[in-house]
Structure 1
Amino acid sequence: MARGELVDALVGSPTRVVAIVAGPGYGKSALLGQWADRLAGAAVWHTCTDADNDPAALLAAIGRAAGAGPGIVTVAGLIRALDPAPAGTLLVDGVQVMTSAASLNVLTDVIDRLPDTWRVGITSRARPRLPIARLRAAGELLELGPGELSFAHDETAQVLARSGITLSPTATDQLLERTQGWPVAVSLAGMALRADETRTFTGDDVFMREYLRTEVLAGLRSRDTALLVRCAILDELSGPLCDAVLRTRSSGAALEHLAAHGVIEQAGRDGDRFRCHPLLRDLLTAELHRKEPALVPELHRRAARWYGDAGVPDQAIEHAHLAGDTAELTRLVLDWSQHTWANGGIDSVHRWMSWLEESDGGSAFPAIAAHAALIFALVGEPARAERWSAIAKGAPVSGSLSDGSTVEATLAYLDAIEARQGTAQMRLDARVAWEGLAPASPLRATMRHTEALADLLDGDLDHADGLFVEAQEAAEAAGIGPLVGMVMCERASIAVERGDWSAAEDAVRRATSIVTDGDYGSYWSSALVFAWAARLAVHLGLRSEAVEHTRRALALRPLLTYALPVVSTQALLATAQASLGLGDHHAAAATARRAEEIVHRRPGLGDLPDRVAALVAAVQETADQGRPDTLTPAEIRLLPLLATHLTFPLIAERLGVSRNTVKTQAISTYRKLGVTSRNEAVARWEVLDGS
């Protein structure tokens, strides 16, 4: 909030008490002074000193500030001295220096007994031992803290400008993120950048380092400083976590003490989580690496263990990575990657696998190598997927994993999804994996789905549908939303083959809801869902809906590669068919080429090559005959009805329009499709719609 707005808030607030509490360098005294200037002489200002720990000295000092002269020795006497004034504001700056309970009780008594026409404003670096909770509950308190006192973008730019520094908006935002808008840090950054605008301002910068040491860390107990330095590896601080990292039992009380003195901040409303300012953490981290570099990996290892036991995979895995503990990193990734992926954390899993790749982790662990191959396949990086696949298959086939799955089953799982040797082997691999994977393994659902795919590609729709039902049930039981949505679309494709567009519509709409509600929109598996949603919308004549779903399917096209050939090709086919239906020949052609490349690299996938060849031919035919890119929504809605036995009068009744309107729309449609009869229009539309 801008300083002018803050002063306006102080002047205009109806509350009786204002507490401005933040660490050093937030401009608390300056803000109090600006408030005093607006009060036009109706303010009583007192800056606290160590002498105020004597209650008598405190009362006398406030009395002198109020112009009451000497002799004020009681609260009652001070109140009598202030009472004649019609209204006023008592401003007490720097309450943190008062540690005497007696003096704090006196100040509390003053606040409680001041006339109703008086207000009180206090500043403190730490939470003052005053009746803050009571005043808050009574609605008599306005609180300003670091969040309100921090600079925003414009104020940051203005402070830098006063130092002769002009940064781009992006660079200003980056500095704002590093400083968190801490006013003194922004000012010191301006001084540092004046010497060298190319430098990155951190908490270990000479100007910032000196300020932090003298204004924030000075006077701390040695054990508290040691806690801060060694726990600088942590994003967030809590008593149990710091105890685990430091192997102590008193961290909770120490953190409370540091927070009470404004050194660290609360990280949430629960009151037991804290954080260091990023610049302070920079300094502490640099101190740790200078003084105890050999201890750093062990501290990370302890943090990884604590977070792992607490069920916080992101932090556990990051600390295992920073510890350089490849074995622990591998174990944690294996335990958490499938669950995290299924719950929308594909980016996290991708990052973990990249860390494993950097550390050469997983080379001796076929299960993690198989997971890595899958993840890189899912994010559209087939070369990296193949590298990990080769690592997995180079490991010994015997043995079992910690969850009871056999290594043989894990490798069969990988062979099944890669489908390198055609549908028969794909089916066999899926069955071997299903039998050898642990009953609780989330990979089993994928194997039912993969076996069903093999049957679907070989034309056994009934058996495929039954297996898809089993795959859906297994995926639902395991909580794998992306797979559930994908399986529903496979079942929709079978329904369309049977001519049951109603069942297909129900399945596709449920699948789309799963993807949107679960935030899986960027997932590889969602390409098939969006593609089928687009096909359905084209079939129903819902052009705007079809355009949106096709756009989302096309956005996922880079993820569709030969690494996961079957569903990738299915999604490309459905996307191209929807694009043709919308008259987007360019998108259809590019999508068809990608499908053609996949089946060329992965031959033997049942009827997929024939379907791709038919699609390519349809795209070419459309190019030769001209594109129906001017079909109106009404004409698209009419086309499915032309394929029925209904006469024009019955179609008109169904659509709620006149017979002449239907006839006019039909003639227009024939012309745009380059045909001369109803039967030809239906045949042409079936090519475009993929029915």
Structure 2
Amino acid sequence: MPEGAGQHVIADGRRTNPTALRLHVVLNKLSAPPLRRGLVDRPRVVDRIASAADVPVVLLSAPPGYGKTTALALWRRSDERPFAWLSLESADDDAVELTRGVATALDPIVGIDQELVAELAGPDPRLADRVLPRLANAWARSERPLILVLDDLHVVRDPATLYVVDYLAQHVPPHSQLALATRTDPALGLAGMRMHGRLLEVRAADLAYEDDEAVDALAAAGVDLTADQVRRLIVRTEGWPAAIYLAALSLRGRADPARYLEHFAGTNRHVADVLSEDVLQRQPDDVVAFLLRTSILEDLTPSLCDAVTGGDRATETLRDLERSNLFVVPLDESRTAYRYHHLFAEYLRAELNRREPELITELHRRAWRWYAEHHLTARAVEHARTSGDVTVAADLVASRFPALYERGQTDTAQTFLADLDADTVEEQAPLALAAAWLAAMTGDTSGAHRLIDAARGGTWDGPMPDGTSSLESALAIATATIGGHGVTRMEEAANTAVRLETAQNHWRGLALTLQGAALTLRGMDDEAELSLAAAVPMTPEQSATHAYALANLGLLRLHRGDLEAALHYARTAHRIIDCPTMRTYTPSVLTYALLARVLTEYRRDHDAEQAIDGAEAILPHASDAFWWLLAMARLLLVPSLMTLNRPDDAHRHLDEVQRLIGQHSDVGRLAQWHTDARTRISSALPSARPGAPSAQPGAPLSTAEKRVLRLLRTDLTLREIGRELHLSVNTVKTHTHAIYRKLDVSTRSEAVQAARARTRVVGNGRTATEPVRDDAKR
């Protein structure tokens, strides 16, 4: 094992992982659950997995209670290869957090480079082009093959986070495997993996108990049934292991199991009846109180349980519950954390609500205090919200929003506000502002302005929870960004924010960036450049604000004809945004558009097309709240599109600019820029660059068009072709129309036939294309 890798002993004797501490990964998530006494062996399932040792991806997909995690733990016991284990939770539905967890899980086995750990610990690591390739290389260099387990993958839904899983699935080293346990099929291109023999699937039908396994489960619980009774239980539960386990517990000591089985079914209602009558009622009062009062928690650690219950014996109680097989599942081998079986937890919460409803608020209040003290914000917010401590939840949420926005994690931000009603949000100024940003990012422009007005009507003393110097400054920054009152008002608001944000920090950097953007729109380029140059060193280097400031500086250099400097700024900004969370983030559109514009000037058409695709992946979903930014980006794209002989797309963007600026009376230079662009492209073909490919009938197809044509022969839709070629659907449409014009056809099938007629076979098996001769047409 490489030096520095692995675990280290800390003061209280527990073992920990230094990378976990540095990346703030909860240690309990990194251990496979221990195999409890009386566990039913699953040789049929384990043998099936073991027989596919060279299949890169193993998918266990089934509803809860089918023993997916248990099957993985049994496989781990029988396989000589080391296992890197990561149990996921909702907070891991974030590309950066998931990557940090994977790196931490792999580190004790492969020895992750500390430089990579440092980058992951930073505010916005570049996943796509740096972190993930280096992580995959570290895995590939491992001296021994290993199995990487991602348990509870169903909590991952965000496309950017799934990209991380997909990247790992595509880069599994030989003789290693990636094991995924989930309740729902992940969006990972399973069909392609299946077709290429890269996927082993273990589903509910594979995990369901057969008769002999049900007999073993019953025997482990001290229950002896006839073969017919076992078969009836299997039929009633459809082999669902959790329901059979619950039935076994309730069957202990029953004189007439046949009668009980007549009334047992694998439904939640019947399971709850079993738990009520035959499990909870048999426990002493102190155990029942502990079970009910800790049922509000997702994870059970002794410290947290003592904080919630007010006791001091949680360690002993949790171990007693585990020994009694009372639905307590250990989360690590050292028994420092547990959870309740999901069905059992649901039942306990219902019982708590029935027996001690007056305690629920206080229990959640104790929980959020513990989580806040331990800097676990997401859990603290959840319990503060449930306890009705809205001000606390507002402060916690507002403090997290800026970091989430800078990383492009709007989905994560949205989860914080999902369960708060509108009145609650609007009554809290920090929360109203956070919600305004979210509304603007998700397309609710009127909602964003309403929320800003609600925040303006509130009061707040001193610095805001997000770090801005005051409510007035936070409102000015929001107003300058969401330019609903025109360019002049944007500049005034930005000036206010610059005046109020006196500290040399990222908030002043953002205020200066907004000031520079507003000055650019007003035609004050010299003043704009001064503001933007001052902003750059104050903004975090891997943040969206930093990239946006650089792109604006590049735009000013482009206006002055300094292509070399414009390209430098565009490429530097692009390196920042080229990661899953920021690649589709609205502010990134200016970087893509600027890069495309400069690259076409350098006749780098292929690279320019890719930059255009990046912009056009953002624009259809971008919010009109940032109308001025979208108009600037579209106007930058127009000359590039004309240079690339895409006049239809150029006119489409100009029409969108007309729509955007037509909604506002004060648009600064945008109106003149729009008029100038209309004038320049009044005649489409003469505006094209001399020597650029012609789109007339008989002209040769470009390389990009040939790539599209090859897929036109398939039954893929244009959108699916775009996904295959990493192009936007609009770009695919443009290439398709150009193909039709050049081949002088009007349908897809005619294009395929015409292309075949133009193709001749060269002796060595390569193909070349030439115009169709007149006699060939006949």
Pick aligned residue for 1:301 from 342, 357, 365: 365
Aligned length: 484
Structure 2 counterpart SS, 1:363: helix
Task: Return the alpha-carbon distance in structure 2 between the equivalents of residues 310 and 559 of structure 1.
Answer: 37
1:63-98 deviation line (CA, Å, top 9, x unaligned): xxxxxxxxxxxxxxxxxxxxxxxxxxxxxxxxxxxx
- Aligned equivalent of 1:515: 577
1:413-467 deviation line (CA, Å, top 9, x unaligned): 2332233454444333212222224737743322101111122223333332221
1:155-185 deviation line (CA, Å, top 9, x unaligned): 524788999xxxxxxxxxxxxxxx9x96244
Residue 286 of structure 1 aligns with an amino acid whose one-letter code is A
Q: What are the residue-to-residue correspondences of 1:554-565 with 2, within 5 Å?
A: 554-565=616-627
| CA separation of 1:408 and 1:285: change in aligned 2, threshold 3 A | same
Task: Return the alpha-carbon distance in structure 1 between the equivalents of residues 596 and 557 of structure 2.
Answer: 16
Q: What are the residue-to-residue correspondences of 1:57-96 with 2, within 5 Å?
A: none
- Aligned equivalent of 2:775: none
C-alpha displacement at 1:385, in angstroms? 0.9
- Aligned equivalent of 1:613: 675
Q: What are the residue-to-residue correspondences of 1:271-420 with 2, within 5 Å?
A: 271-356=335-420, 358-395=421-458, 401=464, 405-420=469-484
Pick aligned residue for 1:183 from 241, 250, 259: 241
Question: Does residue 428 of structure 1 match 2:492?
Answer: yes
Residue 564 of structure 2 aligns with an amino acid whose one-letter code is S
2:307·2:370 contact (CA, 8 Å) conserved in 1?
yes
TM-score by length of 2: 0.54
Pick aligned residue for 2:607 from 542, 545, 556: 545
| CA separation of 1:232 and 1:499: change in aligned 2, threshold 3 A | same
Pick aligned residue for 1:156 from 172, 180, 204: 204
Q: In angstroms, what is the RMSD of aligned CA positions?
A: 4.7
Q: What are the residue-to-residue correspondences of 1:105-504 with 2, within 5 Å?
A: 155-157=203-205, 183-185=241-243, 205-210=268-273, 212=275, 222-262=285-325, 263-268=327-332, 271-356=335-420, 358-395=421-458, 401=464, 405-437=469-501, 439=503, 442-476=506-540, 481-504=543-566
- Aligned equivalent of 2:632: 570
Structure 2 gaps of 5+ residues are 1-40, 54-63, 72-179, 186-199, 212-236, 248-263, 706-740, 743-778
Q: Return 400-409 or 467-476, whichever deviates more.
A: 400-409
Task: Return the alpha-carbon distance in structure 2 between the equivalents of residues 28 and 632 of structure 1.
Answer: 53
Residue 463 of structure 1 aligns with an amino acid whose one-letter code is E
Task: Return the alpha-carbon distance in structure 1 between the equivalents of residues 679 and 245 of structure 2.
Answer: 67
| CA separation of 1:427 and 1:208: change in aligned 2, threshold 3 A | same
1:20-77 deviation line (CA, Å, top 9, x unaligned): xxx99969999xxxxxxxxxxxxxxxxxxxxxxxxxxxxxxxxxxxxxxxxxxxxxxx
Task: Return the alpha-carbon distance in structure 1 between the equivalents of residues 483 and 52 of structure 2.
Answer: 71
2:436·2:448 contact (CA, 8 Å) conserved in 1?
yes
Which structure has the larger Rg? 1
Identity of aligned residues (%): 23
Residue 277 of structure 1 aligns with an amino acid whose one-letter code is H
Task: Return the alpha-carbon distance in structure 2 between the equivalents of residues 471 and 355 of structure 1.
Answer: 36
Q: Return 445-454 or 593-602, whichever deviates more.
A: 593-602
Residue 6 of structure 1 aligns with an amino acid whose one-letter code is V
Structure 1 counterpart SS, 2:426: coil
Specify which structure has the bigger relative contact order, considering alpha-carbon pairs within 8 angstroms and separated by 6 or more residues: 2
2:515·2:531 contact (CA, 8 Å) conserved in 1?
yes
Residue 558 of structure 2 aligns with an amino acid whose one-letter code is V
1:204·1:283 contact (CA, 8 Å) conserved in 2?
no
Structure 2 counterpart SS, 1:459: coil
1:2·1:155 contact (CA, 8 Å) conserved in 2?
no
Structure 2 counterpart SS, 1:563: helix
2:505·2:539 contact (CA, 8 Å) conserved in 1?
no
C-alpha displacement at 1:253, in angstroms? 3.4
Task: Return the alpha-carbon distance in structure 1 between the equivalents of residues 332 and 652 of structure 2.
Answer: 50
Task: Return the alpha-carbon distance in structure 2 between the equivalents of residues 557 and 247 of structure 1.
Answer: 53
| CA separation of 1:292 and 1:202: change in aligned 2, threshold 3 A | farther
| CA separation of 1:567 and 1:275: change in aligned 2, threshold 3 A | same
Higher helix share: 1
| CA separation of 1:220 and 1:331: change in aligned 2, threshold 3 A | same
- Aligned equivalent of 1:56: none
Task: Return the alpha-carbon distance in structure 2 between the equivalents of residues 615 and 408 of structure 1.
Answer: 38
Task: Return the alpha-carbon distance in structure 1 between the equivalents of residues 460 and 663 of structure 2.
Answer: 26
- Aligned equivalent of 1:73: none
Task: Return the alpha-carbon distance in structure 1 between the equivalents of residues 575 and 207 of structure 2.
Answer: 49
Structure 1 gaps of 5+ residues are 14-22, 31-145, 164-178, 190-200, 637-670, 673-691
| CA separation of 1:384 and 1:592: change in aligned 2, threshold 3 A | same
| CA separation of 1:8 and 1:521: change in aligned 2, threshold 3 A | closer
